[in-house]
Each structure stands twice: as C-alpha cells, then as structure tokens.
C-alpha cells in the first residue's frame, strides 16, 4: 500500500513522463515539417517510449492500492531556432527528469517503501541511458558544426538509429 506522500510523488512523476512524451512529440512535429525525416522518426519513437514510462507508473500506482491521476499538461515551450538548440533542450530535459527520479527514490527510502524504491531502479537505469544518449547526440552535433552535408548525414543516422534501439551509446 502506498502512503499518501508516495502516491502524490508518483503522480507528479506521471505528469513529468507525460510532459516528456509531449516535448518529444512537439520536437518530432517540428523536425518533420522542416524535412528532418531521421530526427522526426527518432523523436516520434522517443515520445512513444516516454508514454510507456508514464503508463508503467500509472499501472504501478494502481496496483499498489493507489490512484494514478492523469493531469492536464502545458504546451511544451521550446526554442526551435536550430536542431542543435533543440537537442540541447532535450539533454537538459533528461537531466531534469533524472533529478525528479532521484527525488522519488529519496522519498521512497524516507517512507521505508522498499518495493517502490526497487521499482524505481528501472527508471534510474533508464535515465542513465537517456542522458548518455542525449550527450552522444550533442557531441555529434558539435562535430557537425554548420556543415550542411554533416547535417544530412546526421539526419540519416538518426533515422537508422531508431531501428536499433539505444545502440547509439557504444
């Protein structure tokens, strides 16, 4: 059984994951309209993945005797001035999500809710991957600089990347 404090914290994380899905979806739409097919494909996939993270939390809260709340979301506020700026925002967002997960783990431990702490370890590991993936992408963008040919190749790589999962971090 979840404590009220733990349930409220998990419900806040449900909102964070839903917002993450929306952010990736907004980025995907921008990329698609701008002709970045690979980046759009990657972002759509990431949006779906974030939604799955949200659903996993919803099911957990409900299975533990709580009530998962699906709350309203704000429209993502993003700077679309360049694909580099977009990916930097993505990285910063993933760092923020990692911090949010860490707060959840702290709450679970303070509440002596070891089942929830154990459940959350999957999210801790997932966020390590997400941050590393975003950092590798940023490093590649820095290598490209202003090269149009480099951007074309990067966009192509992003399209191919989506079919192989998290293998961008090698």
Torsion of CA 14, 163, 81, 141, to 10 degrees: 110
Task: Give the separation between CA 118 and CA 103, rounded to whole angstroms.
Answer: 14
Q: What is the DSSP letter of 81?
A: S
Q: Is 126 annotated as a binding residue?
A: no
Torsion of CA 19, 108, 49, 75, to 10 degrees: 0
Using only the alpha carbons of the chain, give its radius of gyration.
Answer: 17
**The dihedral of CA 92, 76, 29, 46: what is its sign?**
positive
Q: Is 17 annotated as a binding residue?
A: yes
Q: Is 127 annotated as a binding residue?
A: yes
Which residue numbers belong to the known binding site? 17, 50, 53, 94, 127
Which residue numbers belong to the known binding site for Fe cation? 17, 50, 53, 94, 127
């Amino acid at each position: 059984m979840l404590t009220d404090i733990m349930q409220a914290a998990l419900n806040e994380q449900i909102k964070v994951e839903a917002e993450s899905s929306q952010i990736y979806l907004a980025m995907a739409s921008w990329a698609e309209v701008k002709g970045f097919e690979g980046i759009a494909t990657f972002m759509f996939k990431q949006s779906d993945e974030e939604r799955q993270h949200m659903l996993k939390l919803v099911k957990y809260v409900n299975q533990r005797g709580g009530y998962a709340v699906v709350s309203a979301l704000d429209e993502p506020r993003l700077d679309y001035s360049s694909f580099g700026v977009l990916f930097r925002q993505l990285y910063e967002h993933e760092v923020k999500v990692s911090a949010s997960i860490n707060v959840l783990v702290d709450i679970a431990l303070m509440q002596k809710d070891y089942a929830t702490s154990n459940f959350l370890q999957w999210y801790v590991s997932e966020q390590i991957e997400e941050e590393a993936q975003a950092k590798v992408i940023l490093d590649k963008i820095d290598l490209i600089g202003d090269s149009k040919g480099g951007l074309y190749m990067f966009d192509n790589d992003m399209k191919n990347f989506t079919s192989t999962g998290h293998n961008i971090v090698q």
